[in-house]
Amino acid sequence: MPTALLHPFAKPAKDGFINIVRGEGALVFDDTGKQYIDGIASLWYTQIGHGRTEMADAIADQVRTLEAYNCFDPYTNPRAEELASAVAARSPHPDGRVFLTCSGSESVDSAIKLARLFHVLNGNPERVRIISRDRGYHGVTYGGMSAQGLPPNREGWGQLLSGFDVVPQHDLGAVEKLFADRPGEIAAVLTEPVQGAGGVFPPQPGYLEALRELCTAHGALLIFDEVVCGFGRLGTWFGAQHFGITPDLLTFAKGVTSGYLPLGGVVLSRTICDALEADPDFILRHGFTYSGHPTACAAALRNLRLIDEEGLLARAVHIGERLRDGLTHLFHEGLIREFRGAGAVWAARMNEGVSAADARMKLLDLGVIARPIGDALALCPPLVITDAQIDECLAALQTVLSP
Ligand SMILES: Cc1ncc(COP(=O)(O)O)c(C=O)c1O
């Protein structure tokens, strides 16, 4: 019998889940005491690792002072203000502003709304179309779902939002054609810097640069969905800096708190802020009950300090190199048919006839957590994973894939 908990992204009829009860660094433990190396940072988010007492203290201190208060007009709170400044300072828009949400999906929907609003405020209300890419994952709310390029996730939910065009993954020509066919109608192009949940696909050389140029030339905005790439995953605060591209809007979530509490947001460029601020009587009619939640913001602030203090941006680069070298070895051994990635997020494509889902189960037996996506297995470990633990993940992969 299934339990009362209806699991996300799972078969509702399924019973028998792995019951994770404790975590420490890059390790988690189930209710039988079995230890696993968390090779996927839970769900691409545990940058600082599990079970950090510094986070417990920061969260408890904030709850004792002010657990929560809303940020709707006329209220604010110090933690939300500090976090917005800290995020803007680390972003490509230090003179921009930050809108806070509670999840990646809410951040994507907020960015889409803000992009459309920007054009309305600039007198271009017909600019509503959002271009996104096949294999992009942008969450499950109606906005993010309408933009996402994973067909099974879009089916069975009724009418999606209008005005969305999903183009083939690496096809710049398709983007150019949409701009040519629909002059003055495109609000924004939305893409992850490295596509994560869709299978870990870095952009092809020049692709993001070309998107930037197209958007600028045609008066559209470029939105980077940084929910996975942001906060250190690529060795920089945002993927934008890794690739040297400046988008107009950046979404984030996950790594901003390392998942200790749910929080996300959107960074807005100064140009977009200017449009919002131009009419002093204009009211931004968008916000979540928990936008700027002080305890979630206190968790994020402590997390950012830990990333700084422990040099985790540089560590991400090192982790990525070690994973890449290990996967190169597996490739030369003929055990995988392709590998791809950037920074500390990688995927190994299985050989013909090898099921990534089966390989995941065998890895679990060996105490390693990886994530199957189609015919690939993704690795995206906490940025505190040790070299020995990385090597253990790679050795387990070798064992599982060896004939
Ligand atoms: C790039 C990207 N955008 C948005 C989301 C949605 O985030 P959430 O699950 O927090 O709503 C995800 C989640 O994996 C993601 O990877």
For position 287, what pLDDT does the model report?
98
For position 356, what pLDDT does the model report?
98
Q: Going by CA atoms, what residue is nearest to atom 7 of ligand 1?
A: 104
The closest of 241, 233, 257 to 381, measured between CA atoms, is 233
Q: Which of 9, 105, 380 has the most ligand 1 atoms within 8 A of CB, as the residue to mutate? A: 105
CA distance 57 to 50: 14
The closest of 245, 184, 236 to 211, measured between CA atoms, is 245
Long-range contact set of residues 15-24: C-beta below 8 Å, sequence gap at least 24: 18/364, 22/50, 22/51, 23/49, 23/50, 23/51, 24/49, 24/50, 24/51
Pairing of β 27-30 and β 35-38: antiparallel
For position 266, what pLDDT does the model report?
99
**CA 397 vs CA 107, 138, 235, 337, 347: distances in Å:** 35, 29, 24, 14, 12
Q: Going by CA atoms, what residue is nearest to atom 8 of ligand 1?
A: 104
CA distance 317 to 108: 27
Q: Which of 9, 133, 254 has the most ligand 1 atoms within 8 A of CB, as the residue to mutate? A: 254
**281, burial (CB in 10 Å: exposed 0-12, middle 13-18, buried 19+):** exposed
Ligand 1 binding pocket (C-beta < 6 A) is 103-105, 108, 137-139, 144, 192, 196-197, 225, 227-228, 253
DSSP letter for each residue of 383-396: TT--HHHHHHHHHH
Residuewise pLDDT in 10s, the chain (403 residues): 899 999 999 999 999 999 999 999 999 999 999 999 999 999 999 999 999 999 999 999 999 999 999 999 999 999 999 999 999 999 999 999 999 999 999 999 999 999 999 999 999 999 999 999 999 999 999 999 999 999 999 999 999 999 999 999 999 999 999 999 999 999 999 999 999 999 999 999 999 999 999 999 999 999 999 999 999 999 999 999 999 999 999 999 999 999 999 999 999 999 999 999 999 999 999 999 999 999 999 999 999 999 999 999 999 999 999 999 999 999 999 999 999 999 999 999 999 999 999 999 999 999 999 999 999 999 999 999 999 999 999 999 999 999 9
Nearest atom within ligand 1 for CA of residue 229: 1
For position 288, what pLDDT does the model report?
98
Distance 251 CA to ligand 1 centre (A): 10
For position 352, what pLDDT does the model report?
97
The closest of 354, 367, 372 to 395, measured between CA atoms, is 367
Nearest atom within ligand 1 for CA of residue 141: 11
**151, burial (CB in 10 Å: exposed 0-12, middle 13-18, buried 19+):** exposed
Distance 322 CA to ligand 1 centre (A): 26
Q: Going by CA atoms, what residue is nearest to atom 14 of ligand 1?
A: 197
For position 16, what pLDDT does the model report?
94
Nearest atom within ligand 1 for CA of residue 251: 3
Q: Going by CA atoms, what residue is nearest to atom 1 of ligand 1?
A: 227
Nearest atom within ligand 1 for CA of residue 264: 10
Distance 252 CA to ligand 1 centre (A): 9
Distance 180 CA to ligand 1 centre (A): 30
Distance 139 CA to ligand 1 centre (A): 5
On whether the CB atoms of residues 193 and 219 are closer than 8 A, the answer is no
For position 368, what pLDDT does the model report?
98
For position 104, what pLDDT does the model report?
98
The one-character DSSP state at 165 is: E
| Residue labelled with tokens 């950012």 | 304
CA distance 121 to 308: 38
Nearest atom within ligand 1 for CA of residue 139: 6
User: Cβ neighbours of residue 393 under 8 Å, at least 6 residues apart?
Assistant: 37, 39, 368, 370, 379, 381
Nearest atom within ligand 1 for CA of residue 104: 7
Q: Which of 133, 137, 250, 266 has the most ligand 1 atoms within 8 A of CB, as the residue to mutate? A: 137
Taken in order of first residue, the domains within the chain and their CATH numbers are 20-51+311-401 (3.90.1150.10), 54-309 (3.40.640.10)
For position 335, what pLDDT does the model report?
98
| Cβ atoms < 10 Å from Cβ of 33 | 8
